[in-house]
């Protein structure tokens, strides 16, 4: 077997993991960056716990998910930032659902996720795009060839007390674009995106609500983002 054949086989194996709707739903749920139990994932995907367990085991074996055990409990999370990026990129490529949400609850969840959400460990949706645009407009981030923080950008992060150190070991870039599946534009990810997201939660700028991935900006966050990045408050509630 040639190296090309082996690469093709590995690609087919990864694609096969996400070809099942239940496994795809589990991966999308876990892109919020937190650990879920098997029972939570079963309820989210609308399948029996035994069925969810089988799918989770395949995803763990395939390297997309990782297990953490605490006593008798098993928690599952996305394996790493590369796996999360793969799932988010495929979701962006697939685009929005062909049929719009038909119930008020489903529509509310969809609107909340489009307005602001976590994408693994960074901010996405219109909130993530607004922050990325503001960083770029103020010369803190350049997008000419990929994403890169400028010297002014590094100084801005330091001035906000946001350390640009990776939370997990690896070769993760300082800044990188992540295609937003609702806005169809790139938002900031990488070490800088993760650090900014952590700071936003720790500082009370943002909080989670409703759907596990949905994020809303608090009044304190509206003021902070206006003062530090010049973001129009109207963009944060649209």
Q: Is the pLDDT of residue 98 over 70?
A: no
Mean pLDDT of the chain: 86
Query: Nearest-CA neighbor of 189 among 111, 109, 113, 89?
Result: 89
Fold of 3-79: Arc Repressor Mutant, subunit A (1.10.10)
End-to-end CA distance of the chain: 54
Phi, psi dihedral angles at 31 (to 5 degrees): -70, -5
Question: Whole-model pTM?
Answer: 0.74
Give the pLDDT band of residue 53 (cuts 50, 70, 90): very high
C-alpha pair distances (Å), 113 with each of 41, 83, 207, 209: 18, 20, 13, 10
The C-alpha atoms of residue 187 and residue 33 are separated, in whole angstroms, by 16
Q: Is the pLDDT of residue 100 over 60?
A: no
N residues, the chain? 238
Taking residues 102-129, report their average pLDDT: 80
Q: What is the largest CA-CA distance in the chain?
A: 60
The C-alpha atoms of residue 206 and residue 224 are separated, in whole angstroms, by 11
Q: Is the pLDDT of residue 3 over 80?
A: no
Structural domain boundaries of the chain?
3-79, 97-237
**pLDDT at position 127:** 94
The C-alpha atoms of residue 108 and residue 120 are separated, in whole angstroms, by 21
Give the pLDDT band of residue 87 (cuts 50, 70, 90): confident
pLDDT digits (tens, 9 = 90+) for 165-211: 865 656 788 999 988 888 888 999 999 999 999 999 999 999 988 65
């Amino acid at each position: 077997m040639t190296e090309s054949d082996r690469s093709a086989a590995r690609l087919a194996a990864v694609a096969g993991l996400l070809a099942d709707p239940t496994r795809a739903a589990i991966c999308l749920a876990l892109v919020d960056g937190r650990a879920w139990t098997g029972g939570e994932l079963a309820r989210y995907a609308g399948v029996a716990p035994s069925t969810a367990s089988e799918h989770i085991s395949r995803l763990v074996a395939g390297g997309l998910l990782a297990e953490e055990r605490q006593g008798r409990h098993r928690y599952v999370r996305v394996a790493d930032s590369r796996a999360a990026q793969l799932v988010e990129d495929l979701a962006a490529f697939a685009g929005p659902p062909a049929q719009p949400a038909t119930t008020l609850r489903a529509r509310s969840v969809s609107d909340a996720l489009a307005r602001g959400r976590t994408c693994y460990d960074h901010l996405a949706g219109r909130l993530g795009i607004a922050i990325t645009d503001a960083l770029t407009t103020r010369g803190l981030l350049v997008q000419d060839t990929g994403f890169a923080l400028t010297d002014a950008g590094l100084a801005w992060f330091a001035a906000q007390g946001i350390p640009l150190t990776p939370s997990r070991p690896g070769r993760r870039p300082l800044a990188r674009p992540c295609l937003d599946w609702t806005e169809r534009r790139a938002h900031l990810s990488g070490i800088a995106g993760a650090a900014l997201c952590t700071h936003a939660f720790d500082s009370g700028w943002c909080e989670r609500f409703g759907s596990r991935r949905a994020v809303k900006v608090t009044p304190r966050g509206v003021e902070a983002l206006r003062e530090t990045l010049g973001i129009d408050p109207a963009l944060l509630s649209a």
